[in-house]
């Protein structure tokens, strides 16, 4: 019997199927539609699952949605209707989406597959986040589960405890519009970046600035009681702008060319100030929930948890014993949390244990109708391809990867990545600027064997688990500056991933690379900027041609693209 969790209609629609007996399949709608962050009902994901797992009413235990649809719609509507004339455009749009939103989740599913109504259950938004986090830790009752995001069902922060008998208790909540997530996104908008997609650029940019605007920003977001001054924001009434003229009066002109020297310095200072407001707010939040719960281990979820610089700086404050951020803490990962809610609803005393970063479908399942030989030429066999690939990397080649199961979360973690030798400065620059066309202020991501980590990096033990999925920053040691200076961010940190599993191709590549004189690869996502990560072999071929990458590692060998 299958348990299916679905997150949809707002951010990154996704579906997760499990039977808790080894069958797992996590999918994002963007993988099929090729629309980055596709929020529409995930009908292509469901069609894929229906076909490949022969889904029908008889073999589905529950289909669980990640929130309560009407409550989610109503809470925003209720706040905005208090000032109907000021918020007219927003209210009209909110009424329109009623007819195409999650209220009709049951109907949307049954257009594809006829499922009994009693098999549909609904988690709550923040609980779905937390139940995903629960699935990646052992001794789950020792943790307090904290969610912090933009908004979900009217909640912007919340904290839960779960005892050994699986009794879930919500111990604290903060409500819309008082949202540190929406505050950060509004500044993202002010700086000219895309809301819900490019907050990471604000985080990266912050390392180049000074907190010159921190005092001003503290007057519009209170870091102690988590209250927001709505005079500076318009996300509750404006469909195009998150911020008001009053914020512009405080900070100056928005949307200017960030690469102009004077603009860059000023915007970096704004980003730095915003980052500090976030970090001080989260410091106070964690202190509060630790005191309320009596627990010193924390699982942090929600979109705000993706801010790995915040995680790094919080780890140095000695306020928690451990802080774990699951690989996909945003809304797409909530499909896993919703499936966990369904499983707990059935068993009453068991939850899913998914301590892995690879939950996507098998490559054979994805590429059933694609003939690989029409697109690629095999240039190294399964016996020699590890050695051949590492030789090319050492010689400055940039190589893509497409093997194993797809990663969960927004970060490529080896299986769908682009690699280069971190010691080769020319390759690093070529990958970052020419191929990926990333902004000069964005950091690089090193990947290395666990055994070599302490030689090059330092990290507080209380966040070390997050290294497995690139969920935290590390401080660069002296040895890294000597050998791999080009991968160190301006603030002396790196967003590092360690590899522990000796059976993976990534581990074998790093082991062979080590024999040839280098211990670290640069790892970046296998996609063109603003596109989703590759999913099938057609995506792989198109991206390799557009990025001008010649070679790719697959499960059974090293390949080169054909000219077709």
SS3 content of the chain, % helix, strand, coil (to 5): 45, 20, 40
Q: What is the pLDDT of residues 512-525, one digit of tens each?
A: 999 999 999 999 99
Is the pLDDT at 89 greater than 80? The verdict is no
Q: What is the predicted pLDDT for the residue at 226? A: 98
Q: What is the predicted pLDDT for the residue at 112? A: 97
CATH of domain 363-561: 3.90.870.20
- Classify domain 2-132+328-347 at the CATH topology level: Nucleotidyltransferase; domain 5 (3.30.420)
Q: What is the pLDDT of residues 117-165, one digit of tens each?
A: 999 999 999 999 999 999 999 999 999 999 999 999 999 999 999 999 9
Q: What is the pLDDT of residues 523-551, one digit of tens each?
A: 999 999 889 999 999 999 999 999 999 99
Mean pLDDT of all residues in 66-91? 80
The pair of structure tokens assigned to 223 is 């870091």
DSSP state of 88: H
The domain segmentation of the chain, as residue ranges, is 2-132+328-347, 180-324, 363-561
d(CA 275, CA 26): 32
d(CA 47, CA 62): 17
pTM of the model: 0.95
Q: What is the pLDDT of residues 205-259, one digit of tens each?
A: 999 999 999 999 999 999 999 999 999 999 988 878 899 999 999 999 999 888 8
Mean pLDDT of all residues in 352-379? 93
Q: What is the pLDDT of residues 294-303, one digit of tens each?
A: 999 999 999 9
DSSP 31-82: HHH--TT--S--HHHHHHHHHHHT--GGGEEEEEESS-HHHHHHHHHHHHTT
Confidence of residue 85 (pLDDT cuts 50, 70, 90): low
Q: Which residue has the tokens 């001080």?
A: 280
| Spatial contact of 397 and 551, defined as CB atoms under 8 Å apart | yes
Same topology between domain 180-324 and domain 363-561: no
CATH of domain 180-324: 3.30.420.40
- The 3-state DSSP class for residue 24 equals strand
Q: What is the predicted pLDDT for the residue at 95? A: 79
Q: Which residue has the tokens 């604290």?
A: 172
Q: Which residue has the tokens 């707002």?
A: 10
Q: Where are the beta strands (DSSP E) in 274-432?
A: 297-301, 322-324, 376-380, 399-402, 417-421
pLDDT above 70: percentage of residues in the chain: 100
Mean pLDDT of all residues in 376-391? 95
pLDDT above 90: percentage of residues in the chain: 86
Q: What is the Rg, in whole angstroms, of the alpha carbon atoms belonging to the chain?
A: 23
Mean pLDDT score of the chain, rounded to an integer? Answer: 94
Is the pLDDT at 496 greater than 90? The verdict is yes
């Amino acid at each position: 019997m299958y348990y299916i969790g679905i997150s949809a209609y707002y951010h990154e629609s996704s579906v997760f199927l499990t039977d808790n007996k080894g069958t797992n399949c996590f999918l994002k709608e963007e993988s099929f539609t090729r629309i980055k962050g596709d929020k529409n009902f995930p009908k292509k994901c469901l069609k894929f699952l229906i076909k490949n797992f022969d889904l029908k009413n008889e073999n589905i235990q529950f289909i669980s949605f990640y929130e309560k649809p009407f409550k989610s719609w109503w809470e925003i509507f209720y706040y905005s209707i208090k000032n109907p004339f000021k918020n007219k455009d927003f209210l009209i749009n909110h009424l329109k989406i009623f007819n195409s939103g999650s209220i009709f989740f049951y109907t949307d599913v049954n257009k594809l597959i006829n499922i009994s109504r009693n098999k549909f259950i609904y988690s709550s938004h923040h609980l779905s986040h937390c139940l995903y986090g629960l699935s990646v830790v052992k001794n789950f009752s020792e943790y307090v589960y904290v969610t912090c995001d933009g908004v979900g069902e009217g909640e912007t922060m919340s904290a839960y405890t779960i005892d050994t008998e699986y009794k879930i208790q919500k111990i604290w909540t903060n409500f819309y519009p008082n949202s540190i997530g929406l505050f950060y996104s509004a500044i993202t908008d002010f700086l000219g970046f895309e809301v819900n997609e490019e907050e990471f650029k604000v985080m990266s940019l912050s390392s180049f600035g000074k907190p010159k605007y921190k005092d001003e920003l503290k007057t519009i977001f209170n870091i102690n009681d988590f209250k927001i001054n709505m005079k500076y924001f318009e996300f509750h009434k404006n469909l195009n702008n998150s911020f008001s003229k009053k914020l512009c009066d405080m900070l100056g002109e928005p949307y200017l060319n960030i690469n102009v020297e004077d603009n860059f310095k000023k915007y970096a200072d704004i980003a730095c100030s915003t980052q500090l407001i976030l970090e001080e707010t989260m410091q106070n939040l964690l202190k509060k929930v630790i005191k309320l719960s009596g627990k010193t281990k924390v699982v942090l979820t929600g979109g705000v948890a993706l801010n790995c610089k915040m995680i790094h700086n919080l780890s140095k404050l000695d306020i928690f014993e451990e802080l774990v951020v699951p690989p996909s803490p945003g809304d797409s990962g909530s499909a896993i949390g919703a499936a966990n809610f369904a499983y707990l609803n059935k068993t009453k005393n068991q939850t899913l244990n998914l301590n892995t970063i690879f939950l996507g479908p098998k490559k054979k399942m994805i590429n059933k109708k694609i003939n690989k030989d029409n697109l690629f030429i095999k240039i190294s066999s399964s016996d020699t391809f590890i050695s051949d690939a590492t030789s090319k990397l050492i010689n400055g080649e940039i190589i893509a990867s497409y093997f194993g199961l797809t990663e969960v979360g927004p970060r490529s973690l080896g299986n769908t990545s682009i690699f280069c030798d971190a010691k080769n400065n020319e390759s690093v620059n070529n990958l970052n600027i020419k191929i990926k066309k990333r902004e000069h202020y964005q950091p690089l991501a090193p990947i290395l064997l666990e055994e070599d980590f302490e030689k090059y990096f330092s990290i507080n033990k209380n966040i070390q688990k997050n290294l497995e999925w690139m969920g935290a920053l590390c401080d660069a040691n002296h040895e890294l500056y000597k050998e791999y200076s080009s991968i160190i961010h301006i603030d002396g940190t790196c967003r590092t991933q360690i590899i522990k599993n000796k059976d993976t191709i990534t581990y074998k590549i790093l082991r062979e690379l080590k024999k040839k004189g280098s211990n670290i690869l640069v790892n970046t996502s296998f996609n063109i900027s603003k596109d989703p990560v590759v999913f099938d072999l057609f995506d792989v071929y198109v991206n390799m041609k557009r990025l001008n990458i010649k070679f790719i590692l697959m499960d059974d060998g090293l390949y080169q693209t054909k000219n077709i």
